[in-house]
A and B are shown apart, each in its own frame.
Chain A
Amino acid sequence: MIHMNEYPPTDKDDITLLAPSFGSDCDWLNEVQAASCMPVKDAIALSFVKALSKSLLDPKNKNFPEIVALGFWLRNVSCPLTAQSDAQLHKPIGLTVHFAPGNVDTMFVYSWCYGLLLGNKNIVRLASQVTPIQSALINAINALLQLPEFAQLAARNKFVQYPKTSNWTARLSAIADARVIWGGDTSVNSIRAYAAKPRTRDICFADRVSAAILNGDELDNNDKIAHTAQRLLRDTLPYDQQACSSPRMIFWQGSTSALTALLESLAELLNEQIQPSLTRANEQLVFSQYAAANNGAEVIWRGQITAIVTQQPEAVISQHLGQWCFIVIPVTQPSDIGAYITDRFQTLTYAGYQSEEIATILTAPQYTGIDRVVPIGEALDFNYLWDGIDLLSGLTRVVNVR
């Protein structure tokens, strides 16, 4: 085990400082450790976020919808916390190390943005795989950090890349006051296995699955069906339905004919958006045959998308690889979803219901899953309340003054 002051040996050649890209001669790690935190929602941080948003919304990024989405998100970022409220002071927690996910290129900015706004010092470890989106984001951040007005931020926010096998995860873990760990379960566990300070907070985002609950009885005309299909597409398109908050299961209350109409409409919309893919068609076949063989699931739709009907989604969801396979679970009333709630269950998107109806169900103490209930079409809208965690309180320390 690692002692507090005995850092595991790390090799400087192992790590690349991506941003700030200037003055790399100076010891960036000492610099960030020696600096004090900034106040919560400091004017400099707010103006940086505004400037970054503007830079990302530049027309040159229009071919990267993820970057544009991030630009809009930053423009209106929701951070309802002030440095002082009632008899409480809110202070940053210290040095936050973000272990960003490799497959969602923009995620590191969402994660870091809260660390920044809350006054923390941040080290962001980016995935080793360099992608065009990652480079564009790092370039935008670098351009801003070079400006004299953001010098204080440049000293306190570092973006790095290093191989998984290096000792840097151990080194950074040993100095972190908070670790924000984006998983896979395996990644989360492997990073948490590195020793941290006794009071280090771990904020972990592990593997989750999500579902939609749709009231088919409300979908009584073509416009409503098309609108619902459009929203469902919005929730599944960005990461080929693999994002943890994209619905893979559909709880369906209503007639088979309305369901068929919805799936048909969704398949048509998808056709307009993406090219047919050899791999996707095969994945859909593999998944539907697996589901059929495993628990007798019935394939009810095959085409650009695949839909199967089963009462035992748990038996097959582990083999679900996105790719527009929908696991349909017929229900007769919203409370029927209770039987399917596990602690892996993250987001429930809904259409044709009132949010209160759903919330009432979830108050039952036996349900350990579902952390988000949002209207259909908003599954991927990131927010400081995520996975049942409040990032604002997670990345701050509260001083109780009486």
Chain B
Amino acid sequence: MSTSTKDIQACYQQQFDALLSQPVFGLDRAAKQRLLLPLLATLTELHQQRCAGFANILGSFSNESASTIDTLPFLAVRLFKLMELKSVANEDVFRLLQSSGTTGQTPARVTLDKATSQRQSKVLVAILQQVLGKQRLPMLIIDAPATVGRDAAFSARAAGIQGLAFFGRHHTYALNDDMTPNWSAISQFCAEHGSGPVLVFGFTFMVWQYWLDALAQKNQTLNLPHGVLLHSGGWKKLEHLKVDNTAFKRTIKDFTGITAVHNFYGMAEQVGSIFMECSHGYLHAPSFADVVARDPNTLRVTGFEQQGLLQVLSAVPTSYPGHSLLTEDLGVLHGEDDCACGWKGKYFSVSGRLPKVEVRGCSDTHE
């Protein structure tokens, strides 16, 4: 390792530690400009030195150092599906995270070293404690044990469950391996822990399709008045059912008694620094992350209340150049630092995926 690489690493570490000591949802724009921007610029430099592919891409961005977070270079998130992009030597690779990917798509491959992996957990803990408190809660997982079983692929769903499991105890899987509800496990969990605070976690469509729907069909209600439901994974699979956040929350309350429902937005390419839904229903950028919406045609930054492609920035990854990514999700930024919930930072909502390219011409045809 060259001296300058060491310097960058040390500089990053200092900047990261400074960020870690800050309130997670308490940094306003000026504080982020002071603490997060230089860290992200350090990450750009670090990955430029360690990842040739990333360095090549930087050629198409301005050389001037970024004066605001939205002037930092970004990578198209799909690149992680198309090629290997990493900033560590092979012997330092600790784990290869694969995103589940939509059916028929190549999954993304995200290279983690020990340090990045530990940092992901640290950051996730800090963010989740904001809604869960410091105690580990009895945890009901809306998924099947097989999803994380020994033979399961290391999918994003498995990664999500394993990551979240750390925040619970008495882990109970609500579904059987065939995705039918495990009624006896569910009732036992409710009987033992239902009167106190509990954590319920699942992917949005799993919660809706295999839990709420099953409860509705059986006309059964649960009573978890002090429960917190965390869910993620997007609304895409529920689109055809016309389920929106309001309907989702109402149904949760009707069938389980849970009123504390937090959606979060994150991706395999940026594990750790997730965006958490506040009490007013908006996703917030934590201290470790930021979000920018860009006009999809010009890639210029869009104003508040205008739909754009979401760019997500994270203080976490040093083992792969994923600290500034242009996603294929469309969203709307609603404001910064002035959400009625009291949390600082940019707040936004995700409105859907960018439509896929229509395949035309003479390629694959036998449909």
- Which residues of A come within 8 Å of B, CB atoms? 99-104, 107, 127-129, 164, 182-184, 186-187, 190-191, 205, 207-208, 239-244, 246, 276-283, 285-286, 288-290, 292-294, 296-299, 302, 319, 321-323
Contacts and interface: CB of A to CB of B under 8 A. Distances in A.
Contacts of B366: 99, 102, 127, 164, 183-184, 186-187, 190-191
B299 interface: yes
B357 A244 contact: no
A67 to B, nearest CB: 16
A129 B364 CA distance: 13
A272 B358 CA distance: 21
A317 to B, nearest CB: 12
A286 B78 contact: yes
B82 interface: yes
Given A278-B354, A282-B296, A322 B360 contact: yes
B83 A164 contact: no
Give chain B's interface residue range (CB within 8 Å of chain A). Answer: 35 or more
B362 A282 contact: no
Consensus secondary structure, chain B interface:
loop
Nearest to B84: A293
B75 to A, nearest CB: 6
B357 A283 contact: yes
Given A103-B365, A282-B309, A288 B355 contact: no
Given A290-B82, A292-B60, A103 B360 contact: yes
25 contacts: A102-B365, A102-B367, A104-B361, A107-B362, A127-B366, A164-B367, A184-B362, A187-B365, A190-B366, A208-B362, A239-B360, A240-B358, A242-B359, A277-B297, A278-B296, A279-B357, A286-B78, A289-B76, A289-B79, A290-B76, A293-B53, A297-B56, A302-B60, A319-B82, A322-B357
Contacts, number: 137
A278 B297 contact: yes
Nearest to A285: B76
B362 A322 contact: no
A244 B298 CA distance: 28
Contact of B363 (A184, A286, A292, A299): A184
Interface in B40-85: 53-54, 56-57, 59-60, 75-76, 78-79, 82-83, 85
B83 A293 contact: yes
A33 B141 CA distance: 61
Nearest to B77: A286
Contact of A293 (B54, B358, B367): B54
B297 A242 contact: no
A281 B297 CA distance: 5
A90 B326 CA distance: 60
B218 interface: no
A243 B53 CA distance: 30
Given A205-B362, A292-B56, A293-B57, 19 more contacts: A103-B362, A104-B360, A183-B364, A183-B366, A186-B364, A207-B362, A208-B362, A239-B361, A240-B357, A240-B361, A243-B361, A282-B326, A283-B357, A286-B78, A286-B82, A289-B57, A293-B54, A297-B56, A322-B360
Interface of B: 53-54, 56-57, 59-60, 75-76, 78-79, 82-83, 85, 296-299, 309, 326, 328, 330, 354-367
B79 A281 contact: no
A279 B76 contact: no
Nearest to A189: B366
B57 A292 contact: yes
Contact of A242 (B309, B355, B363, B367): B363
Contacts of B330: 278
A324 to B, nearest CB: 12
Contacts of B60: 288-289, 292, 298-299, 302
Contacts of A322: 357, 360-361
A184 B359 CA distance: 11
A278 B309 contact: yes
A299 B57 CA distance: 9
Residue picked from B59, B296, B309, B330, most chain A C-beta under 10 Å: B296
Nearest first, the 4 A-B pairs at minimum CB distance are: A242-B361, A293-B53, A184-B364, A187-B366
Nearest to B82: A290
Contacts of B309: 278, 282
Contacts of B57: 289, 292-293
A293 B355 CA distance: 24
Contact of B356 (A186, A279, A297): A279
Nearest to A322: B361
A207 B363 CA distance: 6
A350 to B, nearest CB: 21
Contacts of A278: 296-297, 309, 330, 354-355
A260 B288 CA distance: 42
Contacts of A186: 364, 366
Contacts of A100: 365
Nearest to B78: A286
A302 B299 CA distance: 11
B358 to A, nearest CB: 7
A101 B79 contact: no
Nearest to B361: A242
A103 B358 CA distance: 9
A282 B354 contact: yes
A286 B360 contact: no
Contacts of B85: 293
A182 B365 contact: yes
A162 to B, nearest CB: 11
Contact of B79 (A183, A191, A290): A290
Contacts of B328: 282
Given A104-B361, A286-B78, A298-B59, A127 B355 contact: no
Contacts of A99: 366
A242 B354 contact: no
Contacts of A294: 53, 83
Contacts of A208: 362
A58 to B, nearest CB: 25
Contacts of A242: 359-363
Nearest to A278: B296
A285 B356 contact: no
Contacts of B78: 286
Given A129-B367, A290-B83, A282 B361 contact: no
Contacts of A283: 357
Nearest to B75: A289
B22 to A, nearest CB: 32
B362 A293 contact: no
Given A278-B297, A285-B299, A292 B59 contact: yes
A304 B20 CA distance: 42
Contacts of A104: 360-362
A296 B56 CA distance: 5
A127 B326 contact: no
Contacts of A298: 59-60
Nearest to B321: A293
